[in-house]
A and B are shown apart, each in its own frame.
Chain A
């Protein structure tokens, strides 16, 4: 089971909107589950933030290692964990996870076996028609399994995402590539959070 909050959903969408012609990927952060709490289902994922990673070429490993090490460090002080990975292919009609997605998911699952893939379906990105633009997959022994029915998206997310794109916030979102191009670009994207807080429904 998994759910996603407005902030994570919106940031992911803004990243797609910034680079409509390219493959993009990124990380979803979840609240770290307290393993001492027997009542909570430790495999329940609650996505609360999103760190956009790269655009264009997604299959080179050195900067991925750098990004994951920084995101891990960021998570450790905030009771967060890398809980998901999203991936959009360059080709409009190709909604299938490829080898790069497989490799990155396997790497993420080393630290969090419950992590899932949010595979973007480019044909669903019209949020006036659809409430979500991706399919959720688990990975077991190199086999993907669609678990859409167990993923919850709240109503506000769709509206927020549309609203921020209308306000051209997709031009402001920073991914890890942007950060490496110029480190004053902050991959934590505090501005987006502020924009969302200024939005009300």
Chain B
């Protein structure tokens, strides 16, 4: 039982997504044990099992956990009310869930968690435009909420609105400019828009922060190739233009060597496929 408890703790602390495993642990190890010896951790565990049960559509397990939590914290607890509303979400009683969230917000309009659940409700019902609108309102107040900017970015990408997705990605870059993933995401959105120049810049800035980011290395090859195609070297072009193409070629070569080196070390039998693939991209 101790190792199960530790595993659950780790999953809580590190925000792991392993719902089926958590339910397994509950079913096989914990559900028949007396958790009172754990003190307050018991409630954290019940809440965790509850959420994982919803993810796995095991409503009966969720109900068991929720009943214990309601018994302990009474229905007046905001946290338990929120869990109750989540239970309604999982059985598709969206109206009921919305009532609870609305009333929680009436009591305390600064409850960010409840506001985000309301937005999730819209997403669940495939009302993406409305979800985007509400999320925009939310972000006017909570401008530093990275999770929210990330979600909004993804929603815009679902709608293929690359321009607005770019704006969200830029906000994330401003909030955390040292995260290589933010740079790479920005570059990839720019690439998808067709802005190879900007994309290339940010693939390079990604590599400056993390020289092992494979996506960025591939991105350098793709962007440099596309830019040199758009600007073919000819005798009639200026020296500067031909020099630019030369530097594209050098950078493609450099990125290619980096990639090959990494594959050679990590997964050498995939190397022939990689080399052929890069060849076909840069022809």
Contacts and interface: CB of A to CB of B under 8 A. Distances in A.
Contacts of A57: 154, 157
A201 interface: no
Give chain A's interface secondary structure class: loop
Given A65-B281, A69-B277, A73-B277, A93 B157 contact: no
Contacts of A99: 160
Given A62-B199, A62-B222, A186-B270, A76 B188 contact: no
A184 to B, nearest CB: 4
B73 to A, nearest CB: 27
A183 B269 CA distance: 12
Given A59-B157, A63-B188, A183-B266, A69 B219 contact: no
B124 A91 contact: yes
Interface residues on B, range: 20 to 34
> Which has the most chain B C-beta neighbours within 10 Å: A61, A62, A76, A182?
A62
Contacts of A40: none
Interface residues on A, range: 20 to 34
B280 A73 contact: yes
B262 interface: yes
B280 A72 contact: yes
Contacts of A171: 21
B132 to A, nearest CB: 14
B218 A73 contact: no
B214 interface: yes
B120 to A, nearest CB: 11
B192 interface: yes
Contacts of B126: 91, 93-94
Interface string A62-105: 11011001101110110000000000001111100011100000
Nearest to A99: B160
A56 B218 contact: no
A74 B269 CA distance: 12
A133 to B, nearest CB: 15
Contact of B55 (A20, A56, A70, A72): A20
B281 A59 contact: no
A66 B189 contact: no
A96 to B, nearest CB: 10
18 contacts: A57-B154, A59-B192, A60-B188, A60-B189, A61-B188, A62-B192, A62-B199, A65-B281, A66-B277, A69-B277, A70-B273, A73-B274, A90-B158, A92-B124, A94-B126, A100-B160, A180-B215, A186-B267
Given A62-B192, A62-B218, A183-B262, 19 more contacts: A56-B154, A57-B154, A57-B157, A60-B188, A61-B188, A61-B191, A62-B215, A62-B219, A62-B222, A70-B277, A73-B272, A91-B123, A98-B158, A180-B214, A183-B263, A183-B267, A183-B270, A184-B267, A186-B270
Q: Which 3 A-B pairs have the closest CB atoms?
A: A73-B276, A69-B277, A70-B277
